[in-house]
Amino acid sequence: MIKTITSQWFVILITGVSCWLELAASLQAAGNPSIAINPDFTKGASIPAGASHDWNLGPTGIRGWMYSHKMETSEARQIAVTQVAKGSPADPTFQLGDVILGLVGKPFNHDPRTEFGKAISAAEATNGELQLIRWRQGKTSNVTVKLPILGAYSATAPFDCAKSKRIFEQGCKALAIKMKAKPEAGNGITRSLNALALLASGNPEYLPIIREQVKWAANYRDPESRSLHSWFYGPVNILLAEYTIATGDQRFMPDLKRITMEIVHGQSQVGSWGHRFIREDGRLGGYGMMNAPGLPLTVSLILARKAGVKDPALDRAIEKSARLIRFYVGKGSVPYGDHHPWIQTHDDNGKNGIAAVMFNLLDDAEAAGYFSSMSIASYGGERDNGHTGNFLNMLWAMPGVAISGPHASGAWMKEFGWYYDLARCSDGSYRHQGPPATKPDSYRNWDCTGAYLLAYAQPLRKIFLTGKKQGVATQISKQSAAQFIEDGKGWSSKNKNSLYADLTDEELYEKLKSWSPVVRERAALALAKRDTTSVDRFIPLLKVSDLPTQLGACQALAKLKAQSAPAVPALINTLKSRDLWLRVKAAEALAAIGPAAKPALPELLTILANNDLQNDPRAMEQRYLCFALFAQRDGLLRGSLDGVNREALYAAVRNGLKNEDGRARSSLASVFKKLTFEEIEPLLPAIHAAVVEPAPSGIMFASGILLSGLEILAKYHIREGLPLCFEVMEIEKWGKKNRITGCLKALQLYEGSAKPMLPRLKQLERQLRNHREAKSLESTIELIQTTTKLIESSSRTPTLRSIGH
């Protein structure tokens, strides 16, 4: 049975996106100036207090600390040795306290981490001699660490690659020894991945070790939905399914069926999962949808079906999840949850890689090819970062890249193979490296052997995670692979899109036509910063028949904001396009232009008021038009409503309030305060319904419309709003403090008319005093007392209105 998830796991998976790591490092540096200073160890400096993140330095056996700043190690020029494994190639040449200053007689000159990784690759490809500059107690000398000769990565690595084959075999051997000695070591994710790596070898000698882990996985159950169990269900179920398919052993089928159906019944109605499965009310809790655990869960369902699990509910669950993720094809990376497509980088926590695997299993060549292409274009700084660490970004990289064939994997390994060599320990195992932050990330000390070996197992095609089902997507050529790598250039944590700043105008205009929404966005951002950029160049691009070019023009026009006013007529015409995303991007450009784009309002309101559920079953176009029109800071209606047709506005708002996304619904609240009671009265039934029936998705932002809707009902003393002031609180659910505060403030607006609610207020106070989080709710309890006194002492008793009367 898997142990209860620890508090460390809670930190791992909810702390924040990759920018959180950068922010945390910056804040720490601000509080401890020594961390912000690049230390010179040859002059007596020591590793700054609190900056404990060191790295494995490949098969040398050395671990070393180097300076990092803004999520990069590019400013470091020294590596302080923090550990030397006994009996490793570097023992006894190096010892704790030594400092590595360079390679092959030359000081480090751009980034010791990448330089060291590439030097390992070069040494293993030739004579095995890794020449280092060592500083020890004031003396500098050139020393050599002798590494085993493995050869070079082939042009199609890991396919047809002797080095990859040796690395995989050595890693499996080391992994088997560790797993046999300590079968219970690790957590649910690493144990499953390690067993899958051995299964991917096809070596029957490992079957007893694998079976031990499968027995453990078969006992997994978590009916109480403790902590973050969704993250464990996926890998565990993948292991059970892959084992059953690979071996034909049917002994674990009952548990495979049980776990599979627990996942199915834990899915939300829109096809998603969160940290945990759905609650009793059928909605996700906490942060709501999270695609990082959701994608492996879906892959596990597909594999369970291949293993023989049959149930109509299983088929529906796979279909819903696939529909949800497929929306992002051509639009960006799969985002954190039910968010906008991610277009800052070509992958986000490895979700594009596992999406490519998923759609390959579903025989969807277009989707598999798109997400694989995005994976190929993500390496270097992009791949080096991730949500509280880069574990998932590395795990799903090669499985996604390999979908496009050997030329794709070879080109990618040529760019990023150094990272794999740096992560490999002297015994062939792997430890989590983490992004270049000052402090270690939350995956610290995870055994990543299985995660890395799955990359090297791709040529064997023994399990589905390693290509048992060959790619349905186009197997790209060497030239195409090189182009995808080129598309991925130009991003770093420190300077973001620095490469694009050096491109000519013509080069940037050309990149606006790219297949990649990330490349188009970077080009649009760069063009918007130049005085030489002409709006006239983009207007003709809206009329061509090439969709990426049209999208690129919209992205550029949006970045130019008010300067793009001459493009308004062309953008309005673009709203008639047959492509949903082009219409959305045109709407976003119009919103960015501002007041000059007001002539587009009739068309935009009409589109928002009507759904094409046959072609857009989740009403995604309506969702994004809600933002384009009603977002408080940048929506087209952020100013006055003068001249806006009220009937068209009402129809759009009513439809938007039915959208399944809580954030889209919440954006509509910006219009409420701009309407008089007579104007808003026709909308009260729709507002009331949106409060009574919360959105099934966008849970993190769903409270916005609940509280703003409640505020409007209270402001106009709507009778039906009184009990809702208590029902919306949901005192046992995430975000309770903000909801309770908003509900109490709404209740105060009823003044003396709320006196019948006083018993419920006093009951609420008792509940919070006995609540497990009572200490953190002290200010809320005080607000309850204040609200009680205000209502008790109120001499005004406003007449209550009822909706529709």
pLDDT(447) > 70: yes
Asked if residue 387 lies in contact with residue 333, where contact means CB atoms within 8 angstroms, the answer is no
Q: Where do the DSSP E strands lie in 548-674?
A: none
pLDDT at 226: 66
pLDDT at 388: 83
Asked if residue 342 lies in contact with residue 374, where contact means CB atoms within 8 angstroms, the answer is no
What span, in angstroms and rounded, lies between the C-alpha atoms of 521 and 510? 12
Q: How does residue 582 score in pLDDT terms, banded at 50, 70 and 90?
A: very high
Q: How does residue 490 score in pLDDT terms, banded at 50, 70 and 90?
A: confident
pLDDT at 284: 87
- Tell me the average pLDDT of the chain: 92
pLDDT(788) > 80: yes
Question: Residue 6 gets which letter from DSSP?
Answer: P
pLDDT 10s digits, 304-358: 999 999 999 999 999 999 999 999 999 999 999 999 999 999 999 999 999 999 9
Query: What are the extents of the domains in the chain?
Result: 54-146, 162-487
What's the whole-number mean pLDDT along residues 650-668? 95
pLDDT 10s digits, 5-42: 333 333 333 333 334 333 443 434 444 444 568 999 99
pLDDT at 285: 80
Q: How does residue 225 score in pLDDT terms, banded at 50, 70 and 90?
A: low
What span, in angstroms and rounded, lies between the C-alpha atoms of 745 and 11? 33
What's the whole-number mean pLDDT along residues 291-307? 98
What span, in angstroms and rounded, lies between the C-alpha atoms of 263 and 788? 44
What's the whole-number mean pLDDT along residues 773-792? 94
More confident position, 805 or 368: 368
Architecture of domain 162-487: Alpha/alpha barrel (1.50)
Q: Which residues of 645-681 are buried (b: 16+ CB within 10 A; e: fewer)?
A: eeebbbbbbbbbbbbbbbbbbbbbbbbbeebeeeebe
CA geometry: angle at 79 spanning 74 and 83, to 5°? 135
pLDDT at 373: 98
pLDDT(263) > 90: yes
For residue 495, CA distances in Å to 29, 69, 70, 491, 555 come to 19, 11, 9, 7, 21
CB atoms within 10 A of CB 114: 18
Give the DSSP per-residue string, 516-583: -HHHHHHHHHHHHT-TT--GGGTTGGGGSS-HHHHHHHHHHHHHHGGGGGGGHHHHHHHTT-S-HHHH
List, in order, residues 6 or more apart from 719 with CB less than 8 Å away. Answer: 800, 801, 802, 803
What's the whole-number mean pLDDT along residues 514-525? 97
List, in order, residues 6 or more apart from 292 with CB less than 8 Å away. Answer: 231, 336, 349, 350, 351, 387, 392
What span, in angstroms and rounded, lies between the C-alpha atoms of 57 and 114? 10
Asked if residue 388 lies in contact with residue 21, where contact means CB atoms within 8 angstroms, the answer is yes
In the chain, the amino acid numbered 172 is C
pLDDT at 35: 54
CA geometry: angle at 741 spanning 736 and 747, to 5°? 125
Q: Which of 428, 203, 405, 341 is nearest to 624 (CA)?
A: 341
| Coil, strand or helix at 108 | coil
pLDDT(391) > 60: yes
What's the whole-number mean pLDDT along residues 113-133? 98
Percentage of the chain beyond pLDDT 90 is: 85
- CATH number of the domain located at residue range(s) 54-146 in this protein: 2.30.42.10
Is 0.85 topped by the overall pTM? yes
Give the DSSP per-residue string, 189-233: HHHHHHHHHHHHHT-GGGHHHHHHHHHHHHT---TT--TTTHHHH
Strand partners, 132: 103, 143
What's the whole-number mean pLDDT along residues 351-377? 98
- Our separate counts of H helices and E strands in the chain read 36, 7
What's the whole-number mean pLDDT along residues 674-699? 93
pLDDT at 37: 85
pLDDT at 24: 41
